[in-house]
Chain A
Amino acid sequence: MSNTQFTITDQQRDYSQFGLSENPFPYSPVPDDDPAVYCGQEHATREISETVSTVLSTGKSKHLVITAKYGNGKSHTLKYTRSLIRDRSDVIVGYVAQPGEGFHDIYQEFIYDLGFDRIQRLAYEYLAVLSCEVTEFEPTGPDEMQRLIDDGEILLSELIPEAIRRLNEITAFADFARAMLHMVYEDTNLYAWQWLTADGIRYEQRKQMEIHSALDDDTSSVRAFTALKNLVVELGYTGIFLFIDEFESISRLSPKDKQTTLNSIRHLMDQNSHGLCVLFGCAPEVWQDVMSEYHAFSERIGKEVALKPLSDENLRYLVRSYLELARESGEETLAPFGEDGLNVVLQYSQGNIRQALSICSQTLDQAVEQDLDVIDAAFVEAQISNRS
């Protein structure tokens, strides 16, 4: 839309002239939560698979840093990896878009990403496991546990004191144990959730749950994270996957806060030699600084893998994969993009995935509008000059 007037319509553009059901390229520069296409950078996928598989198969903790310049697919890679393991029933996966001011923020984002329902189900799941041991019932999961309580088959006043006692032992964090179990009480579950998300709750609400401490700093957040991990391992999960994107933003912090944050993550790793996998996405220059300034932290992270800009071949693969998502015939072809058109895309974007996808998306829309057959070099160039 290069003219001066807006054309706003709810009518879908017709992409059928290209044999496409829609424009498959992402409009927004933010990667999808569940990316359908991943442009394989083989060395990267190999490292990620290796790290994830080690944790899954041995239960031992392993961590990885993925470095890439802005727009080269860090978030996309993290989110794609997350989408691959999120549906597994043997792990808990949480995504943190950026580290914020410290581990307290990382913890908070992680719990928010899991969500109220997931945390509540973990509480019921724990009660189910306990019921198998201390009652005649053998609930197979959270839903059945909830039903047994609702129907009065299992007596809460008998189960809860024992649950608190044992969860205390498992997590070594009495307040965490109480908060988790309060997730099953409708009167207090919002307060419990507030406490668990480190949102801060009023003293009276804490008192009602007999919770003595506040989750308000890095130290207590590390404790709570570890407690949660111990709980899920007790429940038979292999462990927790923590994705921290845009790790480079720690460079904005004061040297003291940066140090505190890195120390907290280091403590988290030290306290969890099993059942934890942290995957970082970070800009290479910031990671270089961390490597040189904070050995104690960086040496705990096994590996670094760098994402490269797209090659000519990568770009073709990427574009073909996206087009396939909307291709009505199922054919594998680059049409309507011409070879020379893609060369311009690559040149202009310098292999930056975000840029490349954005140009593809716009030129495809314009091609439809102008009833074009092929998106060639001249057309792409014209669109690019229109953009700027």
Chain B
Amino acid sequence: MLYRQRTLETPHGDLETPVLFPVSNVGKRSSDNTPAYADQIPDLRTAMVNARAIRQREPQWERLLDGSSLRQEMGVPDDTIVFADSGGFDFHTETLDTTPEKTLETQIRIDADVFGTVDLPLSREDRQAKNQRRINESIQYALAASDAHEGDSLLFASVHGHDPETVRNSIRYLDRHGDFDGFALGSLVPIRTDYRKTTKLILAARLATDKPLHVYGLGGLVYQPLLLYLGVDTFDSSSFIRSAGNRNYLIPGFGGREMHRIEGLEYLPCPCPVCGPRTTEAVRADRNLLVQHNLWALTIELRRFRYMIAAGEDIESYLELRFQGNDVTHRAYRMAKQQVRRLA
């Protein structure tokens, strides 16, 4: 098993990993604003924000320039540890509307603790020549950010590649030629149903360096235990918001269930502060409650894993049990286990 626990020093305090960064949609023009959660979930003083989106939403950006703090805008405590990615996943067009310097400036302005470098994600459909160019450009942007970066915030180089050599080679190249506090592996979302490939890529990244590894976009209920098992240090997820948008109720070990399918049940099975004291009807009626519960579900998943470690339980048997309910994810875990064991 490659699971590991570390303490990363950030400007807003120590960050105990492995840890989830819930995606906050602050800056997005959307009615689905992320409800405040930090007060209710004590071990989730983290947030993932999109630097580009924040900068593009003018009224808010003006307020930030005038001295307002991002944490105030988000309604979270001042000691919330913020990971600001560049917003690469929006760049599906050819022209890049930001620069490493501009992104860095935004990340500094919002007082983020972890900076993700500007990157161009890969598409499964694109020609290889195009993807090779995007991989290369992302590396050059990361190096530019490394040159321009100073201060106590952690700089994570964004890395892309749909094969293990490219991932390993890119990380080692960046490690050699730049100054990074960690690496963040992207472009996995489009291939996430290909579990074998995804775990291979994560493993390649994990073993290419000893520095902290973030995986973009895969911190949902299904992947989270796999990421922990593979020793990923930080991860993010927006699944709790997206699921709530689809009226999906997340239950660790089962995944999502559509609320309207749950009938004749006065109380939900979850003991979290949202569901515990409320009726099924009350949770169903309020999207914000559903978001909060879903986030609790992700947190409980992480807490359970940490508990198993602390209690000295055999993690592989725990995961075996944990994935039993679903053939696809069970196979995925088996594949990950084989790959991990081959390393031993």
Chain A contacts to B: CB under 8 angstroms: 149-158, 160-161, 164, 184-188, 210
Contacts and interface: CB of A to CB of B under 8 A. Distances in A.
Interface in B175-223: 175-176, 197, 200, 208
Given A184-B165, A185-B163, A210-B127, A157 B172 contact: no
Return the 3 tightest CB-CB contacts between A and B, nearest first. A152-B172, A152-B173, A157-B135
Nearest to A161: B132
B50 interface: no
A156 B169 contact: yes
B244 interface: no
Nearest to A162: B132
Contacts of A157: 132-133, 135-136, 139, 161, 166, 169-170
B175 A152 contact: yes
Residue from the set A149, A156, A157, A164 with the largest chain B CB neighbour count within 10 Å? A157
A72 to B, nearest CB: 50
B171 interface: yes
B310 to A, nearest CB: 36
What does DSSP make chain B's interface, helix, strand, loop or mixed?
helix
Contact of B173 (A155, A164, A186): A155
Interface of B: 127-129, 132-133, 135-136, 139, 161, 163-166, 168-176, 197, 200, 208
Given A157-B161, A157-B166, A210-B127, 7 more contacts: A151-B176, A153-B173, A155-B169, A156-B169, A157-B139, A158-B136, A210-B128
A149 B169 contact: yes
Nearest to A188: B163
Nearest to B136: A157
A279 to B, nearest CB: 38
B11 to A, nearest CB: 29
Contacts of A186: 163-165
Given A157-B132, A157-B135, A150 B127 contact: no
Contacts of B200: 187
A156 B133 CA distance: 11
B165 A149 contact: yes
Contacts of A164: 129
A149 to B, nearest CB: 6
Nearest to A158: B136
Contacts of B208: 152
Residue from the set B133, B169, B172, B197 with the largest chain A CB neighbour count within 10 Å? B169
B122 to A, nearest CB: 11
B129 A155 contact: no
A156 B165 contact: yes
A156 B173 CA distance: 9
A149 B164 CA distance: 12
A187 B176 contact: no
A151 B139 CA distance: 16
A146 B164 CA distance: 14
Contacts of A158: 136
